[in-house]
Amino acid sequence: MEQFREDLKELNNRLLEMSGLVESSIAHSVNAVVRRDRDAALMVIQNESRINELEIHIDSGSLRLLALQQPVAVDLRFVTMSMKINNNLERMGDIAVNIAKRALSLLGMPALKPKIDIPYMAGLAQNMIANSMDAFVRRDAELARNVLKSDDAVDILRDELYSKIVKFMEESPIKIHPGIDYLFVARGLERLADHATNIAEDVLFFVQGVEVRHHAQQIQ
């Protein structure tokens, strides 16, 4: 039993390590785009293998825990929630890599930029991620619910960004290529927010045993 508690704690800590790494990758990838910072982009790409290692480590650790300790009730929910959060974090790491690659592509072109506020949209997504992980750490259903509410704001902002980028691209053929990179950056930020929403839903399921995926009406 002692061992079991130790294993759960270890799983918890590894997830926090993973989310720390992923959040740092995201921050670097946004800087790479906004400040045209090649080193930041390269750091994200370097981080990737460590994130992938951690994902496999957490996943196989969870599986071993399920097999050897056969947890039930709240402990079982904790392990399965952890596996899901792990999966979401790994995908967020992939998205950061995609954004970093778009940054490198933009660096190979003249610095033409649509009039969009990437730091603001990135900040929204980053807040959602930080809050969803805080909700996980503190088992805080209220905070998790707040994350779900923020997702709409990101979607509205996304539409605004998209139409500004399209306008930018229509100004001149030379703006099409960078415009496409910016489109995929915006799409990446939107997907990061979606993954934060997934994590918040998993936390709610864990804390309350309530299924809130696919915007079920239980929320509110």
Mask for 143-182, x = binds its own copies (CB under 8 A): -----------------------x--xx--x--xx--x--
Please report, as residue ranges, which positions from 20 to 59 form the binding site for its own copies (by CB under 8 A): 49, 52, 55-56
Nearer to its own copies, 143 or 185 (CB): 185
User: Does 15 sit near its own copies (CB under 8 A)?
Assistant: no
Please report, as residue ranges, which positions from 85 to 124 form the binding site for its own copies (by CB under 8 A): 87
Nearer to its own copies, 31 or 82 (CB): 82
Q: Which of 13, 46, 60, 218 binds its own copies (CB under 8 A)?
A: 60
Please report, as residue ranges, which positions from 200 to 219 form the binding site for its own copies (by CB under 8 A): 211, 213-214
Supply the minimum distance, in Å, between the C-beta of residue 105 and its own copies. 11
Nearer to its own copies, 48 or 134 (CB): 48
Supply the minimum distance, in Å, between the C-beta of residue 135 and its own copies. 20
Q: Per the structure block, which two tokens stand in for 47?
A: 């981080």
